[in-house]
A and B are shown apart, each in its own frame.
Chain A
Amino acid sequence: MQIVAIGLIATVLIVVVKSQRPELAVLLSVAAGVVLFLLVLGKIGSIIDVIKDLAERAGISMFYLGTILKIIGIAYIAEFGAQICRDAGEGAVATKIEFAAKILIMVLAVPIVVAVFQLLLKLVS
C-alpha cells in the first residue's frame, strides 16, 4: 500500500515538475526510486538470512552463496543506474553501464566456472 502510494505521489510530482524543469524531474525520479528500494531492502535482508541458514544446513559452501549474492547486488545497482540514464534519454550511457555490470559479473563467476571444470576433469581422469 505504502509503496504504491509513494509511487503515485512521486509520479504526480514528477509530471508537475517536468513541464517546467526537466533536470529536476530526473533527480526526483532518482529519489523516488531510492526511497522505494530502501523500503524493500530490509525485507530482502531477512530473506537472505533465511537462505543463508538453509544453505548452512544443506552444507553448501558460503563462498558460492556469497558470490551469488554479490552478483544479485551488482545486477540490481547496474539496472537501477541504467534505467535512470534511459529515462533521462541517454540510452548510450545506459548500455555502457549494463556492459560494465556484465563484465563484473563474469569476473565474479570465474572461480565457480573453474571449480566446475576441475570437477569435470577429476571425473574424466
Chain B
Amino acid sequence: MGSNLDLIFKIAGVGILAAVLNSILKHAGKEEQGHLVTLAGLAIVFMWVIQLLANLFDQVKSVFKLF
C-alpha cells in the first residue's frame, strides 16, 4: 500500500518537475528541449502507470476468476 501511495507522489513530482523545467527552458530560449523534457516525463509516468494497471488487471482476474 505504501509503495502505491508513493507512486502517486512520484507522478505528481515528475509532473511539477517537468512543468518547472519546461518554463525554465522556455525562458532560456530552448523550446525543443522543453518539449523533450515533457515527452520524457510522460514516458516515465506512462511506464509506471502501465505496470500498475497490469497489476490491477491481474488481481481482478484472480479475484473474479476471469478467463
Q: Do A and B bind each other?
A: yes
Which residues of B are interface residues toward A (Cβ below 8 A)?
1, 4-5, 7-9, 11-12, 14-16, 18-19, 22, 38, 41-42, 45-46, 48-49, 52-53, 55-57, 59-61, 63-66
Total A-B pairs in contact (CB under 8 Å)? 100
Q: Which residues of B contact A82 (CB under 8 A)?
A: none
Q: Which residues of B contact A41 (CB under 8 A)?
A: 59-60, 63
Of all chain B residues, the one with the shortest Cβ separation from A69 is B64
Number of chain A residues close to chain B: CB under 8 A? 35
Asked if B52 contacts A31 (CB within 8 A), the reply is yes
Of all chain B residues, the one with the shortest Cβ separation from A65 is B65
Of all chain B residues, the one with the shortest Cβ separation from A48 is B63
Of all chain A residues, the one with the shortest Cβ separation from B63 is A45
Q: Which residues of B contact A50 (CB under 8 A)?
A: none
Q: Which of B1, B14, B19 contacts A39 (CB 8 A)?
A: B1
Q: Whole-angstrom distance between the alpha carbons of A70 and B62 in the complex?
A: 10
Q: Which residues of A contact B65 (CB under 8 A)?
A: 66, 69-70, 73
Q: Whole-angstrom distance between the alpha carbons of A105 and B28 in the complex?
A: 55
What distance in Å separates the Cβ of B39 from its nearest Cβ neighbour in chain A?
A: 10
Asked if B56 contacts A34 (CB within 8 A), the reply is yes
| A21-B19, A37-B56 known; A27+B63 contact, CB < 8 A | no
